Amino acid sequence: MVRDRLSVAAYQAPALKYEFPLGDPSRSYAIAKRAIDVLVAAAGLLLMLPLLVVISLAVLTDGRPIFFRQIRLGEQGRPFTLTKFRTMRAGANPYARKPGVRDERVTAVGKVLRRTGLDEIPQLWNVLKGEMSLVGPRPEMPFIADSYDWVARLRLHAPPGITGLWQLSPVRLQPIHDHVEYDLFFLAHRSLLFDLWIIVRTPLVLFFGRHIVLDRGLVERWGHKYRIERPAHRVVLDLSQPVATLADVAGPA
């Protein structure tokens, strides 16, 4: 029975594995999430208008343009134009490898913006347009997503987010597809309370480095708080290590 299948969410000793279904969220969650996205994005852009002006003037000290635009993939792989404050020198290849901590392409102002996450503020416009959400998987560039296997492509089954579980993890500097377990866990357990918790934790990561680790503690806190409609896949996390890893992803349960 479906009811029994959806109840599979417990540690399986002695292997320490955590199993959960992956599918569509409840309709009420999707509607409420979109309403919150619109309200917060509109209020945020309005209230932070003075800050946007100050940052724009700071970016202009290194020349134009003020904004960095790049094609990313949204829900179901639909392309959209992501907007951020420019943090690299004018003329830098927008699709080159991600800059490192001491990358010479990053401007002095850009280093501050990237460290504090202020370069992401213009993405509130993407949220307002419905291309992104406040919380969700990080949007990927099309040419990278082209190399995804079918497991990594499961990340595209939700609106991408400004912040999210992977974005706040200690593995965020590594390629997204190397640690899809963070996004799969979020997609299966998403709720308005989980979204709010991630939003509250975001400044703690940005300013104090208190990363969110997908481990037994996180599973115990959020592992049983999901509501899935039409389960499509079964995901198993291996919890035998300090950080959970993807043990198995199967087709329809």
Give the mean pLDDT of 100-119: 83
**For the segment 195-206, what is each residue's pLDDT rounded down to a tens digit?**
999 999 999 998
SS3 category, 79: strand
Q: How many CB atoms lie within 10 A of CB 118?
A: 21
pTM of the model: 0.85
> What whole-number distance in Å separates Cα of residue 35 and Cα of residue 192?
11
H or E segment to which residue 240 belongs: none
SS3 category, 226: coil
Lowest mean per-residue pLDDT among 42-56, 60-74, 85-99, 157-171? 85-99
Task: Find out whether 218 and 198 touch, Cβ atoms under 8 Å.
Answer: no
How far is C-alpha 53 from the geometric centre of its chain's CA atoms? 26
> What whole-number distance in Å separates Cα of residue 86 and Cα of residue 118?
11
Q: What does the buried/exposed string (b/e) look like for 74-87 if buried means 16 or more CB atoms within 10 Å of the residue's CB? A: bbeeeebebbbbbb
> What whole-number distance in Å separates Cα of residue 81 and Cα of residue 64?
18
> In this predicted structure, what is the pLDDT of residue 4?
37
Domain ranges of the chain: 2-250
Lowest mean per-residue pLDDT among 39-43, 214-218, 239-243? 239-243
